[in-house]
Structures are given as structure tokens and as C-alpha cells.
Structure 1
């Protein structure tokens, strides 16, 4: 169990709604659909759904971004993710790491646990327990980056979903190399507009932001004394 999974959930019942396409950029075809992830039984007809309150806050982040970067957009890489898709991607990532290490399949037990621990540094376990939902399965977490006025990806120094220390939000913070300083400044632009809109950033992933789920509550409580918040979004 990860620390944030100990946070209580008081489900508010807010609906999933589509992210408005006219205000954001999107990955199409969705990257996990390309791999064959099982969205067909999902409660939403695409991955690009979030809880209503989260969409409203995302709109506020978009407005904040465009006050300083008028023609830039937030690109939605991923949003709502059913538990079945979470399991598919955990298994896919495990197999990728095992193959990169030259492991035989099935992976021997002594190596299996080591690889799984590496996977779970970045991917939440596909739990069906309603007290410990994967963040994306709540409709309150999303993976995002930025595109410029020509709809080109802003270079953040590492791709979304990379399993390495380069994914840590502040990995380039103390670099003296100008291009790496740029990576950090772009990551900071993204973080600043999202945090200003009420989101929290995943400690290990520059691209992952959440609002109202267990991780959001856990991160919020670390930065405040006194009244502690709980999650308002559970598994959808």
C-alpha cells in the first residue's frame, strides 16, 4: 500500500464528463488504445473524460496558461482510465522492462518482484478494492504536457511514461546546462498553472496532476497544519 492509499474517501457522486475538445490538444489515436488496451467496456466512450469539478479546474489552468502564453495549449495525454486498462498497462510495462533486461518468459520469481517494484514506482496497482483505487480510475487524475502555437510538443526533457529518474519533476532543477534549464522552466510553467488551479503534482511524474483523489488529499495534507482533507473522488 502506498501512503496516499490510507486517505479516506467520501465519494461525492460527481459525474464523468468529456474534456472539451475546443480548449485543449489531444493525443489521437490515444496511445494506450494503439497498444490494444481494453476500453470497450469502459463507463466512458473515450479516455478523455474527467469528473466535472476537475474539468472546471482544468479550464482555469488553461486560462492561466494563456494569460502568459497566448497560443499555447495543454495537451491531454491521458485522463480517465478504467481498472482494466490500468492492469493492461502495468502488465505491458512489466513485460517491456523484463524484455529490456533480457529476461526469459515467464520471468523467474526472484526477478519478478524486482521488476514489479520498479513498475509500481510509476504505475499504481490495478486494485479493485474501492478503498484503494488507482488514481486515474477515479476520473480525478490526468497526464498532460504543453504544445506551442504551432501545435508542436514542448520538450520537457523526457517523454511521458518514461520509467527513469528523468521523470521526477525537479530532475533538471540544478542543471547548469542551458537546454536542461529550459526543460525545467517548461515543467515549472506546467506545474505553476495546474497548482494555481488547485491541482497537485505526482512526486515522481512531471506530467501527472490530480485534484480531489487520495493522492491529492495526501499531498495537500503534507503542506498544511490543522484541518486535514480527505478524498472526494473514489473509483468510478
Structure 2
């Protein structure tokens, strides 16, 4: 058995109070587009294709995150490719996803308190936050949602859909099956493969979501036992905003 087939040890849920208390010293790494990436790395902006309001038609990550995604992709065996489903997202998308999931859980959890509903929701979607001291992970450009596909672009079987609300979405969920079926055994190997290459590239995984990985943000710092995060809140500037900044900078040099 090589490192690509190591069993996934189910990690405990993050201590979110401790996570969001970690200091951030942003290294000013820029956001970059994944629109022109090449195999074995692919980009498929899932929320845009699902018609989520204000979802971007491209995926963006911090530049150093892209380098690490390529590192992970190049560790994959021939015929398997890494697919980025989402990276940096606007606050409005984060709000929509959180509100939609909270409402769905609330509709079938009439006996749960609001704090319990919040906790269940954040297993999949973090509360929207533009707090510079505690931003939502996807608003930092350091969080990515990924999966695997074959050389023809068909997604590999990961056991659940991306963003599925299910105990089976936990990264190590299939590892506890004593006698897996042929399909379950395939899922186990696919998850191990994804988990292994992403960890080798320096990412950490959200235990409740096999698809979610972090680098540089507070979640990564907490999971990797780092004293501080490298990435804080970042904004994808529109052309108008960039022009306004250009004019301002031009005036400063006169």
C-alpha cells in the first residue's frame, strides 16, 4: 500500500472559537483565475452551473494555493485529474448558501435550538463573515472545494454529491465499513486518493466535508498547528474598482 491509499483517520470537528481567535498576518498573495488551467488540474465552477445567484463563472484562489493545487494534481495517477469546484466566493453567495442550508435543516429539525441548527449548518457552510479578524474561509481565497474526474471529464464516485448533507459526507465515513461492497471499496479508494494528494500538497481537510480543503487561512492554521494564518479577507476587484485604484495611485506619484 502506498501513501495514496492510506486510510483516512476521521479528525474531530474544529473548535471554531479557537479557529477564529487565531491571528491573521496576510501575506498579500493575490487572487488568480483558474480559467486557463490545464490537465491534470481542471476548473468547474459548480455554483455558477447550478444557477446560484451571483455565483462566479470562474474559480479564483490565492496564487500560492494554485501552485499547491498543481502539486496535488501531479501526484495523481495517469488518467485521474483534480477538479476545482469552488474557491473564493462573494459574500452574497456565502450568505445565500448559508441561509438556504439553514432553512433546509430548520424545516426538518423542529425540536432543535438555534445554536444546534447553526452548528449543523456550519458542518457544511460557514456563517457569512467579512470580519477582518474572523472571515469566512472561502472569502479568504484559501479554501477550495475539489473532487476527482477521469481523463474524459467524468466525476469519480466519491460516495455522496458535493455539498450533500449526510453523515456519509464526512471524509472518513466509509472507512468504518467492515465489509465494503465493490462500490463502497471504490469510494474508499477515491476518497483516499483525493485526501492523500491534497494533504501531501499542504492542505488540511474539513472533517465533515470530503471535498473541502484549506491552505493559509485560519482553518488551515488551526488544523496544521500554525501560530497564525497567512490569508485574511480579500476582495476580487471589479474593473471599475481597479481603475479607481489606478487613478488614486497615479495621483500619489505626481
Tell me the TM-score normalised to structure 2 length.
0.77
Aligned to 1:38: 54
The alpha-carbon deviation at position 114 of structure 1 amounts to: 4.0
Match of 2:168 in 1: 166
Residue 177, structure 1, aligned to residue 188, structure 2: no
Q: Find runs of 4+ consecutive structure 1 residues off by over 6 angstroms.
A: none
Q: Aligned pair in 2 of structure 1 residues 129, 165: CA closer, same or farther (>3 Å)?
A: same
Whether the 8 Å contact between 2:44 and 2:59 is mirrored in structure 1 is no
**Distance in 2 separating the partners of 1:36 and 1:164:** 21
What's the counterpart of residue 42 of structure 2?
25
**Superposed displacement of residue 85, structure 1:** 1.3
Q: Distance in 2 between matches of 1:196 and 1:102?
A: 38
What's 2:62 paired with? Answer: 51
Which of 200, 212, 230 is equivalent to 2:228?
230
* Residue of structure 2 equivalent to 1:60: 71
The number of residues matched between the two structures is: 215
Once residues 109 and 17 of structure 2 are traced to their aligned partners in structure 1, the CA distance between those partners, rounded to angstroms, is: 29
Cα separation, 2, equivalents of 1:111 and 1:235: 30
Task: Give 5+ residue unaligned stretches, structure 1.
Answer: 40-44, 222-227
Q: How does 1:88-99 map to 2 (within 5 A)?
A: 88-99=96-107
Query: Rg: which structure is higher?
Result: 2
* TM-score, scaled relative to structure 1: 0.83
Distance 2:58 2:23 in 1: 26
Runs of 5+ unmatched residues, structure 2: 1-15, 235-254
What's the CA shift string for 1:75-112, capped at 9, x where partnerless?
1111111222111110111223344x297xxxx9x765
Q: Could you tell me how far apart the structure 2 residues matched to 1:88 and 1:7 are?
A: 26
Equivalent residue runs for 1:64-75 within 5 Å:
64-65=75-76, 69-75=77-83
Q: Give the C-alpha shift of residue 36 in structure 1.
A: 3.4
